[in-house]
Structure 1
Amino acid sequence: MADQQHDIIRAEPLGSAPVPLSVLDLATVGAGLTAAEALRTTTALAKLAERRGFHRFWVAEHHSMPGVASSSPAVILGHLAAHTDRIRLGSGGVMLPNHAPLAIAEQFGTLEALAPRRVDLGLGRAPGTDGATAAALRRADRPNEGADDFPQQLSELIRFLDDDFPDGHRYARIHAVPGPVQGTVPGGVQSADRPSVWLLGSSGFSARLAGTLGLPFSFAHHFSAANTVPALDLYREHFRPSAVLDRPYASIGVSAFAAETEWEARRQALTGALSMIRLRMGRPGLIPTPEEAEAYDFNAVERDFVDSWLSNVQFGTPDAVREGLNALIKRTGVDEIKITTTGHGPAARLRSYELIADAYGLPARCEPPTAAA
């Protein structure tokens, strides 16, 4: 098991990249576009990422946000599994408190059966939405209760994935299917593989827990940059070798946008900053166009936010983005980065990943996909 998990989690970088490069996608919906178009772009991006040698392609769970179409990661990943052959697919992440552990084990066991040895189960403890929506998802009056119970939920989920509840446990006779139980019944044959479990976080809680359990850890640098290095330090400090990992393995999500000119890259990056301002004001919407973002009359507080936000986005020409990413990798010592790109329009987003791949000399394996794929 340990050797299999090492092979699944770790990878060698390609081209001139100092660490493996991966993709984190939110299936963002731009103004004037539909969710169907956003999901077609996600599919095209997954195919592009596979063709250009990116290591993983993850999608994130968000709810009640008009500009994000990735509310159901397992559904999207099943579709992507049918349109890719090699790239690892996963959640970045599934918000565990929103779901019953057994349901997640069954969903990702199904994905593992559809795409053997290609599935990552990244788990978060935040709701991925506001409190009222979290309560609606959980049918509970206390939307934070699930987050408080996260370690127990995680333990149950892993036991469902491994089918190893002890005798006498209330779930000892309940099995996640597809799963290991299929190999224990008469005539049964079941793969020894299961999804690789990761913990995600934007603070120290999951970093410490991932280290204690010996699990890989992914930090949300793209929206919590001030906490990145402290959280990674906590993870490494608390790491204990496990059947999954003999040493820490950490990745970070990084917001980046590459274009032929710095001006065009900044215009696209600004759309993400304005979208985040609206989200934090309680008015989430579609990703604005660059023209709308440029014409917006930012007040002094909003301008400060924009400056702070853009300081943590690696945007510009491909060479500038590569240099910024390399500096961040060196500063944090991470083992992998997951690049997320918020901008308006399928063509610009797909082009950004192509340019970043070119800047690192990643291989091109086949004809480039189109946004309508």
Structure 2
Amino acid sequence: MIRGRRQGTAPAVLSVLDLATVGVGLTATEALRATTELARLADRRGFERFWVAEHHSMPGVASSSPAVILGHLAGQTERIRLGSGGVMLPNHAPLVIAEQFGTLEALAPGRVDLGLGRAPGTDGATAAALRRGRSDGADEFPSQLAELVRFLDDDFPDGHPYARIHAVPGPVQGSVEGGVQSAGRPPVWLLGSSGFSAELAGRLGLPFAFAHHFSAANTEPALDLYRRSFRPSEVLDTPYALIGVSALAAEDKRDAHRQVLSGALAMVRLRTGRPGLVPTPEEAEAYPYGPLEQQVVDGWLANVVHGTPDEVREGLDELARRTGADELMITSNAHTPALRLRSYELIADAYGLPDGATGA
């Protein structure tokens, strides 16, 4: 259920992470339509997973409600696994997440992943608004995770305050008179950009997804910690590590650079407290970067695999070899939806992934 199938000539399993990014001059409707088109493309070209990420109060990101988006994508795809990359558990009651993802599993049986993060996916003030004054947060993540898994498995022990509470859809429907047990539940993944979730995922024997695309310096130490901490479980016999990587391919190398510069300027604005829409390449090229802003840009561009399809393939291959990742989850933060879609087509072509639409 968890281990993916390597596609074409890729050195690792290939998947897609999407944030439903909104560019200048575009609407959220257009961004979400592009997300749907990308999910169909990924399904057709044989990518393993398509995940969406929870973010809040960011004008340039329309993926604030992963479960809603995934419910839509379940009806738009046939084969590809759909999941959250991730749901930020401290923002939600575990029962709500169990119900949402139980519903998704009922809509797309055997195709749903539940990726969980412990960060808020936003700033502190927005996190407080989401949590309505609750004090629980990142420090309570292990206990929240344990509670969520109990709801997913419907196995609180007798005497527990929640023993008579059931996440529906869920296993309880197979235990009542006339009920039929569902085939399974979504597998849980832990996501992170530091060592905390890496160690926790290892100790629990869960698959681990690391955010290399914005925490590249921590990738190898975190993966090493995950592997050293790993204990076999009912879920996994051996570690399984996925890394998110930002990549964009274009026929022309210069055009690829122009496109990823848009994402770099968006990151500059986010890190300086000015989140906005993803700028156009023209705006990004003309922007007067200060010295500190240029450092952010240079650091961002150094970790985005971009260029011609062959150059992108070479960069992804090298990253897979260096980190030993079992799976590469590609994300693209460019301004124009058509260019993002074209990039994934080019990457699929570079690895010889078959085109389901042509029967190749």
With normalisation by structure 2, the TM-score equals 0.99
CA deviation profile, 1:133-167 (whole Å, cap 9, x unmatched): 0000000165xx32110000000000100000000
How much has 1:305 moved relative to structure 2?
Answer: 1.6
Q: 1:165 aligns with which of 148, 156, 161?
A: 156
1:305-341 deviations in whole A, cap 9, x for unaligned? 2111111000000000000000000000010010000
2:14 matched to which residue of 1?
21
Alignment-mate amino acid for residue 204 of structure 1: G
Residue 111 (structure 1) aligned to one of 91, 94, 104: 104
Asked if the contact 2:5–2:48 (Cα under 8 Å) also holds between the matched residues in 1, the reply is: no
TM-fit CA distance, 1:12: 2.1
Equivalent residue for 2:181, pick from 186, 190, 201: 190
- In structure 1, the gaps of 5 or more residues are 1-7, 369-373
1:11 shift after superposition = 1.9
Equivalent in 50, 59, 63 of residue 57 of structure 1: 50
1:251 aligns with 2:239: no
Counterpart-to-counterpart distance in 1, 2:134 and 2:234 = 38
Aligned to 1:148: 139
- Measured after TM superposition, the shift of residue 199 of structure 1 is 0.1
- Cα shift readout 1:92-145 (whole Å, capped 9, x = no counterpart): 000000000000000000000000000000000000000000000000165xx3
Instruction: Report the Cα distance in structure 2 between the residues aligned to 1:12 and 1:125, rounded to whole angstroms.
Output: 28
1:367 deviates by 6.2
Partner of 2:77: 84
SS in 2 for 1:221: coil
What is the distance in 2 between the residues matched to 1:299 and 1:199? Answer: 37
Whole-Å Cα distance in 2 between the matches of residues 173 and 192 of structure 1? 22
Secondary structure of 2:338 counterpart: helix
Deviation at 1:300, TM superposition (A): 1.5
1:221 alignment counterpart? 212
* Residues 196-252 of structure 1, C-alpha deviations (whole Å, 9 max, x = no match): 100000000000000000000000000000000000001000000000000000000
Q: Distance in 1 between matches of 2:129 and 2:203?
A: 32
- How far has the Cα of 1:191 moved from its partner? 1.5
RMSD: 1.0
Pick one of 286, 302, 305 that aligns with 2:277.
Answer: 286
Indicate if the aligned counterparts of 1:180 and 1:192 stay in contact, CA closer than 8 A.
Answer: no
TM-score (norm 1): 0.95
Which of 249, 260, 266 is residue 275 of structure 1 equivalent to?
Answer: 266
Structure 2 residues without counterparts, runs of 5 or longer? none
For 1:340 and 1:96, the matched residues in 2 are separated by 22
CA deviation string 1:62-89 (max 9, x = no partner): 0000000000000000000000011000
1:5 aligns with none
Q: Which amino acid aligns with 2:319?
A: L
Q: Secondary structure at the match of 1:9?
A: coil
Residue 4 of structure 1: aligned partner? none
Q: Does residue 1:121 correspond to 2:114, yes or no?
A: yes
- Offset, 1:263: 0.4
Query: Aligned equivalents of 1:290 and 1:283: distance in 2?
Result: 18
Letter matched to residue 31 of structure 1: V
Please name the residue that 1:316 is paired with: 307
Moved more, 330-339 or 9-18: 9-18
CA distance in 1, matches of 2:88, 2:133: 16
Aligned to 2:330: 339
Give CA deviations for 1:43-63 in whole Å, capped at 9, x if unaligned: 000000010010000000000
Change beyond 3 A, Cα 1:345–1:367? farther
- Report the more deviating stretch, 68-77 or 295-304: 295-304
Cα distance per residue 1:228-284 (max 9 Å; x no partner): 000000100000000000000000000001000110000011011100000011110
Could you tell me which amino acid in structure 1 is paired with residue 90 of structure 2? P
Number of residue pairs the alignment of both structures matches: 359
Runs of 4 or more consecutive aligned structure 1 residues displaced over 3 Å after TM superposition = none
In structure 2, the partner of 1:371 is none
| Residue 357, structure 1, aligned to residue 348, structure 2 | yes
Q: CA deviation at 1:91?
A: 0.0
- Name which of 275, 290, 295 aligns with 1:299: 290
Is the CA contact (8 Å cut-off) linking 2:245 and 2:330 kept in structure 1?
yes
Superposition deviation, residue 192 in structure 1: 3.1
What is the aligned partner in structure 1 of residue 88 from structure 2? 95
The code of the aligned residue for 1:240 comes to R
Q: Secondary structure at the match of 1:256?
A: strand
